[in-house]
Amino acid sequence: MAVKDFMTKRVVFIDPDTSIAHAADLMREQNLHRLPVMDHGKLVGLVTEGTIAEATPSKATTLSIYEMNYLLNKTKVKDVMVRDVFTLDEDASLEDAVYLMFKHKVGILPVMKGDELRGVITDRDVFKAFLEVAGYGAPGTRIRVRTTNQVGVLERAVHAVVERDLNIDNVVNIPNADGSVTIELQLEGQTDHEQLREELEKQGFQVDYVHETQAKAF
């Protein structure tokens, strides 16, 4: 799974000389939490809600509203932006993006092709990718089984489903700490749940559930 397949390609960015007041307004209008900072087509930093909040006078300040507005309009993004930005290549795996975000506790990674900004991958993009890969929100039938982790178990589960002339949309294979494996399959269409359960149990699977799923937009 490449980052370029899941990233946000329409990137809203700002100039280093943009005031933090304008940056805050733009983030609020676009419902964004971070903005890449670009200077002559080159990524030079990142401004976030947190960096703006740190540069904003607290409610306990003795400054008047006019003085506060003057300060916010005078202070530039380049004065508060994060300059050491973690990035990754557009051909990097989604797993690489998740690892970097988790390790460095960041919610966004600019996606590059050389020095060119091609998009951004955010924690929200990752959540959406997880739902898509897991087949969540697709109408049909969902099956969850457990069995021993050995060669051929996935093939047996797939065979039991294909024998009922059902198409498989998604497969998730989850190794467990006890040496077993959990297999989840998202199928197109509906079928007799009890008959499918019986067939899987005959194949030696512990069936956690077989149930209908409804279409969901996200």
Dump pLDDT digits (tens) for 130-142: 888 888 888 889 9
Asked whether 180 and 102 are in contact (CB, 8 A), the reply is: no
User: Which residues fall within 8 angstroms of residue 164, CB to CB, at 6 or more apart?
Assistant: 191, 195, 196, 199
How far apart CA 106 and CA 15 sit, in angstroms, is 21
> Average model confidence (pLDDT) for the chain?
87
Q: Could you state, in order of their start, the residue ranges of all structural domains in the chain? A: 3-130, 137-213
d(CA 211, CA 177): 26
Radius of gyration of the chain (CA): 24
Query: How confident is the model over 134-184, as pLDDT tens digits?
Result: 888 888 899 999 998 888 888 888 888 888 888 888 888 888 989 899 999
User: Do 3-130 and 137-213 show the same overall fold?
Assistant: no
CATH class of 3-130: alpha beta
Place of tokens 């506790």: 105
CATH for 137-213 (3.20.20.70, 3.30.70.260, 3.40.47.10, 3.40.50.20): 3.30.70.260
Torsion angles phi and psi, residue 154, rounded to 5:
-65, -40
| Strand extents, DSSP E, the chain | 34-39, 42-48, 88-89, 108-113, 116-122, 140-148, 168-175, 180-187, 206-213
Choose between 119 and 163: higher pLDDT: 119
Tell me the two tokens of residue 179. 């040496």
Tens digits of residue pLDDT in 44-67: 999 998 888 776 644 434 444 444
* Number of residues that this document lists for the chain: 218
116 and 168 Cβ atoms separated by less than 8 Å: no
What values do phi and psi take at 86, rounded to 5?
Answer: -75, 130
| Bridge partners, residue 170, by sequence | 186
